[in-house]
Structure 1
Amino acid sequence: QFSGQTKERLSSRQAAGFVEGAAHDAFSLLLNQNVELGEKIAQIAIERASARLKTEKLVVRKKVTQGPALPGKLADCISQDLSRTELFLVEGDSAGGSAKQARDKDFQAILPLRGKILNTWEVSSNSVLASEEVHNLAVAIGCDPGKEDIAGLRYGKVVILADADSDGLHIATLLTALFLKHFPALVDAGHVFVAMPPLFRVDVGKQVFYALDEEEKRSILDKIEREKIKGAVNVTRFKGLGEMNPPQLRESTIHPDTRRLVQLTVDDGEQTRSLMDMLLAKKRASDRKGWLESKGDLASLEA
């Protein structure tokens, strides 16, 4: 499949994979034997990439079937109905692999992200696309950072899905900041959500319960004792989403009938900006230290 009428380049995914497989080893050997040439090629690539960023080209809405695969290992869904479609943003290939098996590929898409994304709170919307992960996310959702126009939106729900531990909460905070600062139109329109994965699974007999935290786990155990539910009680603590098997992840976090989602909303814009600024701005380091000292006893951290 060619791109455009001039047929100057191939755009099919099969061709991209074939060319990469055929040229990779020989090209790597060439670069190793000709370091100076390799540096020149790299410099040209950097200059052209910089030129593309400076033009601030709009993110083009495209599907995984059009041209080479979208960046970020996006596993797209079939439906294009915004009233149904969902995009889950997950950390890493391990959780991404489980999520891809747990999803309903008819209307649920998965985008694995590489570790913690950039703290974009103090980065301008014109510059934020320099981050590969942010660019991948923008391409996937079909909207540009800093723009009010969300006509290109590809999913009705964009769901932040991170581990239930402190590290996962940090990732969720960084993604929340990204949407609040650079995609506020999506937040205002009610398209952004945060998934609440469980930290514990409680098995008793043939019944299964999921708990978000220690408090909910204790409540479940009290209920089992109070109602005299028969069977051996077994409590499992999940170390992360990647540790769940696909059926567990589907039941507890992804299936619309059994999951728990929190919609990202802003009631007081000024108060929200002030809080996020205190949490993430470099200039507020001393304020952040004082806040942590006053609130530190409320934290639940894993040893």
Structure 2
Amino acid sequence: MTASAEPLYGADDLTHLEGLEAVRKRPGMYIGSTDSRGVNHLFTEIVDNSTDEGVAGHATKVVVTLHADGSVQVDDDGRGIPTGVHAKSGLSGVELVLTRLHAGGKFGGSGYKTSGGLHGVGASAVNALSHRFDVTVRNGGKVHEMSFAHGTPGVFDGPGPKAKFTPQPGLRVKGKMKRGERTGTSIRYWHDARYFEKGAELDVEQVRTKLRNTAFLVPGVTYVLRTATEGSISEETFHFPNGLADMVEFLAPSDEKPVSGTLIIRGEGSYKENAADANGVMRSNVERHAEVEIALRWGTGYERTVECFTNTIRNVHGGTHRRGFDRGATKALQEAISRTRGLLKAKEDLPTLDDVLEGMTAVVHVRIPEPQFTSQTKDELSTSGITRVVQGIVERHLKEWTENRKTKAEAKVVLQKIVDAARVRLTQKQQKDAARRKTALEGAAMPPKLVDCRTTGISRSELFLVEGDSALGSARMARVSEYQALLPLRGKILNVQKASLGDTLKNAEIASIVQVLGAGTGRTFDLSAMRYGRVILMADADVDGSHIRTLLITLFAKYMRPVIEDGRLFAAMPPLHKIVTKGRNPETIFTFTQREMEQKVAELEAAGKQIVKPVPRFKGLGEMDADELWETTMNPATRSVRRITLDDAEAAEAALELLMGEKVEPRRNWLVESAARVDREAIDV
């Protein structure tokens, strides 16, 4: 087909989905999925609107009825959806919020201080995906009603979704409210199964869990679940006056004893974020007020349960408030453990977050205006400012709890439990490391030139990458065979900054390093699988030795970067000279540069001491005897090593590319420009 014969693509090929049509076209975008989770999300959207009335202090009871015909009904005694006419749209408040996306009272106005609904999408999305949607509103002394079929307002001539439907706009007045009757809203809907996967249905247990959780979070509201079957109705009531304390008691495993009482943490704070005002204009540094409530306790078990909520909405995947809780709890309890005498033994590491959470049951609930979530289903909070607020509140309360005279004894029991958890975790890790290291040795033949160590633990073991076979002889006699391993390298390895990955792995010396470390390369590198706790580059103290170290550092930076990032790569610093004094009590002093040697000799002679001359210079590691090599380079108590870091990753990458990369011209220019800065007296000649 020629270019001129191809179909044209013009403006008429574009599609504009108006109103609720977009919801029906792509339901997953609005309710998360089209399986049973999506069906349950429809219910969640409706009941959350009633809950918002309870949080605002206008509703005391929410009744959910699951009818035998599959419909769901939610009744509340709140203020009722506004029934007046909206000036801009000309629609009643009821029709506006149920037929227009992004319409409602939750966009920073005076309707709600905080709410679970955010986008004005929930109820209208449910309406769009329902065969029939009935709403009854009691306010202003009148009872108003309205019905919809797939979001279109109208009238049904009988009960149920199969009744004849006639489109008809407008809200109808059914009659007057009875004396003593409370205001409120009643919604009943029949979802359309055509928009969902085959077999998708409402999970009654999830409905029950949702109502129970919300009753814990909003102690002032009673939730009732009525399940109707043919000829009978069962009823459950959820009301928990103690709020989150009751929730922690409910969530905690029944087969474990509490180690502490239930701690209640409450606090308020503020944060700033960029947000749009009522006119849609983006404003920077808008101040937000946050309310935080947390309940937690520790038990004797090992399981941890931390449930997170934002404005009563459960965040299954946590989010920024969970991050603040984790950081605050870890920091406060680590500091308390450090302050408490007798908890930690000498050289023991502080416990980690996993140790703090072991056996903990906690509920984290924040109330914030206009929260941000990662999706319409609100599974994860993404409002960044709340992290610092929650962390600060948690730190302050836990510090007070650990220091208060009345709770100090209880806190110490918890701190001891956390320390014990850390010790068990480390012991288990050592056992796993030993098993993994044994498997690695048995499962693959190590290079024959590897001189391995005997230890089965990872943390203490060291692998020395030794320049040349001559140095290997002295190092082999000098090392502690229990935890020091040696791998000799023949000559200079390949410059990996210039080579491809394939060429890199073909290099025999590099292949030996990768095989011995046992953690892979590049994106598949697994630091936890590395067979040694430290890697030490041991090359001669000359120009060739420096070049070898540079090539090895380039290898690790490009293909095994986590070793550097975790601070586990070191360069040995062997001495260059050996100064020996004469007399009854001769001294031996090692120096590392020509200038240092000359200064030390002058200093000793000025003190009246005689020096054995000429001062011996080591041409390489192989010239040292085992005792000298051990004392100066391999003994952890007396050696000097330099940790290799990548504090500024971009600068390090740029330097490696300049010095070791393929482009010669930038390197030549840099050498010429830098020549004037060289201290010629310091050059080792």
TM range (shorter): 0.7 to 0.9
**98, 106, 128: which one pairs with 2:482?**
106
**457, 463, 467: which one pairs with 1:87?**
463
Query: Separation in 1 of the partners of 2:451 and 2:440?
Result: 8
**262, 269, 273: which one pairs with 2:642?**
262
Query: Separation in 2 of the partners of 1:134 and 1:61?
Result: 20
Summarize deviations over 1:66-125 as a string: whole Å, max 9, x none.
Answer: 378621611001113223111100111111121111111111011001110000113344
SS in 1 for 2:527: coil
SS in 2 for 1:229: coil
Query: Separation in 1 of the partners of 2:443 and 2:458?
Result: 23
Structure showing the higher strand proportion among its residues: 2
SS in 1 for 2:574: coil
Q: Which letter maps to 2:459?
A: S
Query: Separation in 1 of the partners of 2:505 and 2:612?
Result: 52
Summarize deviations over 1:174-233 as a string: whole Å, max 9, x none.
Answer: 001011111101111111000111111111132111111112112211331243335645
Gaps of 5+ in 1: 1-59
Find the counterpart in structure 2 of residue 136 from structure 1: 512
Give the structure, 1 or 2, with the largest relative contact order (CA under 8 Å, sep 6 or more). 1
**635, 639, 654: which one pairs with 1:274?**
654
Gaps of 5+ in 2: 1-435
CA contact (8 A) 1:80 1:154 kept: no
Counterparts of 1:9-48 in structure 2, within 5 Å, are none
Find the counterpart in structure 1 of residue 568 from structure 2: 191
Query: Separation in 1 of the partners of 2:683 and 2:437?
Result: 40
Change beyond 3 A, Cα 1:258–1:234: farther
Q: Which letter maps to 2:574?
A: P
**223, 227, 237: which one pairs with 2:603?**
223
Larger displacement relative to structure 2 (200-209 or 229-238)? 229-238
Find the counterpart in structure 1 of residue 330 from structure 2: none
Q: Which letter maps to 2:608?
A: K
Find the counterpart in structure 1 of residue 581 from structure 2: 204
CA contact (8 A) 2:601 2:611 kept: no
Change beyond 3 A, Cα 1:125–1:174: same
TM-score normalised according to structure 1 size: 0.74
Query: Separation in 1 of the partners of 2:510 and 2:448?
Result: 10
Larger displacement relative to structure 2 (82-91 or 293-302)? 293-302
Larger displacement relative to structure 2 (149-158 or 110-119)? 149-158
Q: Which letter maps to 2:616?
A: T
Query: Separation in 1 of the partners of 2:492 and 2:550?
Result: 10
Identity %: 39
SS in 2 for 1:236: coil
CA contact (8 A) 1:72 1:113 kept: no
SS in 2 for 1:253: helix
CA contact (8 A) 1:61 1:139 kept: no
Change beyond 3 A, Cα 1:90–1:240: same
Query: Separation in 1 of the partners of 2:468 and 2:459?
Result: 27
Q: Which letter maps to 1:208?
A: T
Larger displacement relative to structure 2 (107-116 or 95-104)? 95-104
Query: Separation in 2 of the partners of 1:130 and 1:201?
Result: 40
Query: Separation in 2 of the partners of 1:73 and 1:64?
Result: 17
Find the counterpart in structure 1 of residue 674 from structure 2: 295
Find the counterpart in structure 1 of residue 531 from structure 2: 154
Find the counterpart in structure 2 of residue 37 from structure 1: none
**108, 112, 115: which one pairs with 2:491?**
115
CA contact (8 A) 1:166 1:301 kept: no
Query: Separation in 2 of the partners of 1:261 and 1:125?
Result: 30
CA contact (8 A) 2:465 2:486 kept: yes
Find the counterpart in structure 2 of residue 167 from structure 1: 544
TM-score normalised according to structure 2 size: 0.34
Query: Separation in 2 of the partners of 1:230 and 1:302?
Result: 25
Find the counterpart in structure 1 of residue 243 from structure 2: none
Find the counterpart in structure 2 of residue 286 from structure 1: 665
SS in 2 for 1:267: coil
Query: Separation in 1 of the partners of 2:452 and 2:439?
Result: 8
Change beyond 3 A, Cα 1:231–1:162: closer
Q: Which letter maps to 1:292?
A: L
Larger displacement relative to structure 2 (248-257 or 66-75)? 66-75
Change beyond 3 A, Cα 1:231–1:199: closer
Q: Which letter maps to 1:288?
A: R
Summarize deviations over 1:114-167 as a string: whole Å, max 9, x none.
Answer: 110000113344653221111100111121111342121111110001111101
Change beyond 3 A, Cα 1:238–1:124: same
Find the counterpart in structure 1 of residue 45 from structure 2: none
CA contact (8 A) 2:438 2:456 kept: no
Q: How big is the shift at 1:264?
A: 0.5
- Root mean square deviation of aligned Cα: 2.3
Query: Separation in 1 of the partners of 2:501 and 2:625?
Result: 38
CA contact (8 A) 1:193 1:261 kept: yes
CA contact (8 A) 1:72 1:136 kept: no
Query: Separation in 2 of the partners of 1:110 and 1:64?
Result: 17
SS in 1 for 2:580: strand
Q: Which letter maps to 1:228?
A: G
Change beyond 3 A, Cα 1:64–1:183: closer
1:243 paired to 2:632: no
CA contact (8 A) 2:539 2:548 kept: yes
Q: How big is the shift at 1:65?
A: 6.1
Q: Which letter maps to 1:250?
A: W
Change beyond 3 A, Cα 1:62–1:94: farther
SS in 2 for 1:277: helix
Summarize deviations over 1:13-46 as a string: whole Å, max 9, x none.
Answer: xxxxxxxxxxxxxxxxxxxxxxxxxxxxxxxxxx
Change beyond 3 A, Cα 1:63–1:73: farther
Find the counterpart in structure 2 of residue 46 from structure 1: none
